[in-house]
Amino acid sequence: MVYVTRKTHFSASHRLYNPTFSDEKNEAIFDKCNNPNGHGHNYILEVTVRGIPDPHTGYVLDLKLLRDILENEIIEKVDHKHLNYDVDFLSGIIPTAENLAIVFWGIIERNLPAGELHSVKLFESDANFVEYFGEPVSIPRYTLKIKNKEIPV
């Protein structure tokens, strides 16, 4: 088995907030990340695919294809965006690094032409990162009801 990894980056802002919690509980749990105006990160995304190299090309996966998937399906949609408000596929999801990695996995896996997705690693800072290996995980989606209209949070 051979593992190949593509690394990319994006900048985005977000607010960690659960609408079912009180303001006090949100502040206690999410601290600075609960700033009502949001805050930003310079994320680094590493995606690893594994497989047996094709005997005709020597590739597990042409990394240009993985680059294009990441760029077109994720980076273009999240770079310099507010993750809570500007990204449809994150609508209603608390945009923690953990949840981002899980959502990104689904997007990449659906578009992957060859190889098997092994891991999605997302760095939020030099010191903090998450790594997801595709185990089934359910992510709740939250909405606020304002004037009888549901608004994703």
Q: Which residues are identified as catalytic?
A: 33, 80, 124
CA–CA gap between residue 8 and residue 4 (Å, rounded): 14
Tokens matching residue 135: 């185990």
53: CB partners within 8 A, 6+ apart: 2, 59, 60
Count of other CB atoms within 10 angstroms of residue 26:
19
First vs last C-alpha separation in the chain: 41
Ramachandran class of 42: left when φ > 0, alpha when ψ lies in -120 to 50, beta otherwise? beta
Instruction: Assign 129 to helix, strand or coil.
Output: strand
Tokens matching residue 78: 């999240």
